[in-house]
Amino acid sequence: MRNTIRLLISCRDARGIVAAVTTFVAEQGGNLLDADQHTDLDHGEFFMRVAIERAGFVLTPDTFGPAWQPLAGRFDMQWSIHWGQPVKRVAILVSKQGHCLSDLLWRRRSGELDVEIPIVISNHPDTADIAREAGVPFELRPVMPGTKAGQEREVLALLAAAQVDVVVLARYMQVLSPEFVRHYPHRIINIHHSFLPAFAGGAPYRQAYERGVKMIGATSHYVTEQLDAGPIIAQDAAPTSHRDTIADLIRKGRDLERMVLARAVRLHVEDRILVSQNKTVVFE
């Protein structure tokens, strides 16, 4: 992915966009590795992701904007370009449970997730060892009654100092304030341990147990100001039975959570996600 430039586009649907974009890329010496597009017919919106081989493409971060602007202006595009390097900087926020943290660290180590993880922040000390073993700075920022606003300011300062691109809530059991969320629009990824919109809020496994469902799920989504209601990136589900206690659901759920969160983070850092109308377009 480091040698792949990603261009994300959204605009009103119109004829000729794909031809215009791919012709532009070809004219700039770009080898098209992938081009995906989608039209939301309900809203007349067009979405596109273009992956261009770095070698041969004559434009640079400095020269791309001026060259591209006429075309972007013609279709009134919203767009962003991602040059593959440097890789994205990911902060992980966590509470007591370390399974998602461990999993993400392992995927970075194995090379599967090509990111920097400059910081792990937690409101509990339980996962400090996991971060330390992986060589990642661990910052403890507890939340006490009445200190939440102050704690959030500290966390924001840490994130700013670490220059992170994206914040992953890897079972961070705190609701973020709207102010916090606004600092990272569609750049905070949460894992919720249920098949949303079922069992939003607290204790979803208990809720699932009490309802007697025959499958449990996990949902990764961008955090918005409304709790558990942001654009969904990835979901999965697994069968359960009457034999499963809440502890069994938690155990089975951990595997779902790890897989679904890792998938969402990978999709995000590979610039495969566009957001519109509180929904995601995911180009895989």
Contact yes or no for 124/95 (Cβ under 8 A)? yes
- Catalytic positions are 228
Rounded distance between C-alpha atoms, residue 158 and residue 163, angstroms? 9
Judged by DSSP in three states, 208 sits in: helix
Q: How far is CA 231 from CA 217, 253, 274, in A?
A: 16, 21, 10
- Least distance (Å) between residue 218 CB and a second copy: 11
Smaller CB distance to a second copy: residue 182 or 251? 251
Task: Give me the least distance between CB of 268 and a second copy, in Å please.
Answer: 14
* Interatomic CA distance for residues 89 and 165, integer angstroms: 5
Nearer to a second copy, 158 or 234 (CB): 234
- Give 37 or 174: the residue with its C-beta nearer to a second copy: 37
Q: How far is the C-alpha of 227 from the C-alpha of 100, rounded, in Å?
A: 20
Give the nearer residue to a second copy in terms of CB position, either 110 or 145.
110
102: amino acid identity, one letter: S
**Residue 137 contacts by C-beta under 8 Å, 6 or more apart in sequence?**
118, 119, 120, 131
* Cβ-based nearer residue to a second copy, 116 or 248: 248
- With vertex at residue 64, the alpha carbon angle to CA 46 and CA 56, rounded to the nearest 5 degrees, is 100
Report which secondary-structure segment, H or E, holds 39.
Answer: strand 31-40
Q: At closest approach, how far in Å is the CB of 55 from a second copy? A: 12
Taking the complex as a whole, the smallest distance from the CB of residue 251 to a second copy amounts, in Å, to: 6
Number of H helices, E strands in the chain: 8, 13
Q: How far is the CB of 272 from a second copy (least distance, A)?
A: 11
Tell me if the bond preceding 86 is cis, omega within 30° of 0. yes
Q: Of 184 and 199, which CB lies nearer to a second copy in the complex structure? A: 199
CA 227 to chain CA centroid, nearest Å:
16
What is the CB neighbour count within 10 angstroms for residue 214?
Answer: 11
Least distance from a second copy to the Cβ atom of residue 115, Å: 15
Task: Give the binding site for a second copy (CB under 8 A).
Answer: 15-16, 18-19, 22-23, 25-26, 31-41, 98-99, 102, 106, 110, 112, 133, 195-199, 211-215, 217, 231-237, 241-243, 245, 251, 254-255, 259, 277-282, 284
- Return the SS3 of 274: strand
Cis peptide upstream of residue 197 (ω within 30 degrees of 0): yes
